[in-house]
A and B are shown apart, each in its own frame.
Chain A
Amino acid sequence: MPSNNRTVFSLIIINKAGGLIYQREFQPGLRKLSTNDYLVLAGTFHGVHAITRSITPKLPISQPTPSPATSSPGTTTPAASGYSYPNPGVPVTGLDYLETDKFRLTCFQTLTGTKFLLFTDPMTGNVETIVQKIYELYADYVMKNPFYQLEMPVRRAGSRIQDKQK
């Protein structure tokens, strides 16, 4: 396996409904799945992404003073007055990065809900820039293609995303 600093295993694009619209492998390293499995993976990830957003911890704004003899309802009642998220200034997102022993998954979600999943080596740096570039290419060559039907799979002719990684 090449151990340079820009190992990108594969790219998956998921539309806003959770359907797989693009999948391409750039370098070997991950196991190959069948087309059906990729579709399942895209749908699963779409759901998990939404769940990870909903399990964001909520911090009470008025810190309830813990009284010794109360059980959980007593202590949580003041918390119902309001809560904030851990990073208040930042919008709540779902899963952004996933780390495993063998790869790192970066998920970038556009404002319209399209998700770009980039599988890279855990050591790969500058993944943000790569994803941004891919988004630009997607905008230029897929979205500006007058023959592209929204939410439908991206066909080879419409995409030059792969060229960027070479």
Chain B
Amino acid sequence: MVVYSFYIFDRHAECIYKRRWLPRPTSTVGKSRSDTTSGQAPTGLGQTVRSTDDDSKLVFGTVFSLRNMVRKLGGDDDNFVSFTTSQYKLHYYETPTNTKFVMLTDLKSPSMRIALQQIYINLFVEYVVKNPLSPTEHPGGVGVNNELFEESLEQFVHRHGHTPGILPGYKDGISAIKGTPQRSRHLSQTPVEHHIQSGDQSQVQQGSIHTAFSDGWQHSMRRALSPRGKIGATVGSTRAPGTGPQ
């Protein structure tokens, strides 16, 4: 199974996270041909950025329209799960708060609905929603800018799909923060598949996921306080809303 890309949209139709594991040259075939002839870096940059943005908008428009179509035909309790073309498969999961999770994979992948739900429950809620420094709304497209979330998502995808197509170091998301091997080892001990009950959320010391969670916080605090940390401007693992990407 190969995962091509992953998107999160909030309830205001804002793309708050996008991550592609395979780069995409341009939106259209014609453009790419003319690019290779002119072949200059600045135009390439502008086009790449625009096509990434365009992609997320197109993906949102697609899932939004299809979801509404499905609701109209199947009733309000029907859920749009996935669609398939001859080239790829798009998986969709929507939370009760209208946060939308979209994943593009190859055709051989089984239903990723559970996986998307796991990403929501175990990664998004744990690392983004419970992060006191993370903004609840994302105006202007700052998005989820959270190291822990990104690292865990990376590992989750790697674990779930045996992904030969993934380029390990390629980052085409909102941020490009490199993980150290030490931190990767630390995060791999996080029991991502472990469901947590809402009842014991207050007891931070109990349960391995909570221990890992607080460890992660200490770790990222340490990183933020260390003078040579790459993300010295950040507190915790979230960039301040004003700084934005880059």
A residues engaging B (CB < 8 A)?
30-31, 33, 37, 41, 44-45, 47-48, 51-60, 63-64, 66-68, 71-73, 75-77, 79-83, 85-87, 90-103, 119
* Number of chain B residues whose Cβ lies closer than 8 Å to a Cβ of chain A: 59
Residues in B138-194 with C-beta less than 8 Å from chain A: 165, 167-172, 176, 178
B72 at the interface (CB under 8 A from A): yes
B residues engaging A (CB < 8 A)?
2, 4-5, 20, 22-28, 32, 35-36, 39, 41, 44-45, 48-49, 55, 58-59, 61-62, 65-66, 69-70, 72-75, 77-88, 90, 104, 106-107, 165, 167-172, 176, 178, 246
Q: Are B75 and A31 in contact (CB under 8 A)?
A: yes
Least Cβ–Cβ distance between B27 and chain A, in angstroms: 7
Q: Given A97-B84, A100-B79, output 4 extra A-B contacts at Cβ < 8 Å.
A: A81-B36, A83-B25, A100-B74, A100-B80
Which of chain B's residues has its CB closest to A73's CB? B45
Least Cβ–Cβ distance between A164 and chain B, in angstroms: 22
Cα–Cα, bound, A67→B178 (Å): 11
Contacts of B20 in A (CB 8 A): 57
Which of chain B's residues has its CB closest to A53's CB? B85
Least Cβ–Cβ distance between B21 and chain A, in angstroms: 9
Q: Are A91 and B39 in contact (CB under 8 A)?
A: no
Least Cβ–Cβ distance between A117 and chain B, in angstroms: 11
Q: Are A80 and B78 in contact (CB under 8 A)?
A: no
Cα–Cα, bound, A137→B73 (Å): 26
Which of chain A's residues has its CB closest to B77's CB? A101
Cα–Cα, bound, A119→B70 (Å): 11
A-B contact pairs, 19 of them (CB 8 A): A31-B74, A45-B69, A51-B58, A54-B58, A55-B58, A55-B104, A57-B88, A60-B22, A71-B176, A80-B35, A86-B2, A93-B85, A96-B83, A97-B84, A98-B70, A98-B82, A98-B83, A101-B78, A119-B73
Contacts of A67 in B (CB 8 A): 169
Contacts of A60 in B (CB 8 A): 22-23, 25
Cα–Cα, bound, A57→B3 (Å): 10
Contacts of B27 in A (CB 8 A): 54
Cα–Cα, bound, A73→B22 (Å): 13
Least Cβ–Cβ distance between B62 and chain A, in angstroms: 5
Q: Are A91 and B86 in contact (CB under 8 A)?
A: yes
Q: Are A56 and B169 in contact (CB under 8 A)?
A: no
Cα–Cα, bound, A119→B62 (Å): 19
Cα–Cα, bound, A87→B165 (Å): 13
Least Cβ–Cβ distance between A30 and chain B, in angstroms: 5
Q: Are B83 and A57 in contact (CB under 8 A)?
A: no
Q: Are A80 and B39 in contact (CB under 8 A)?
A: yes
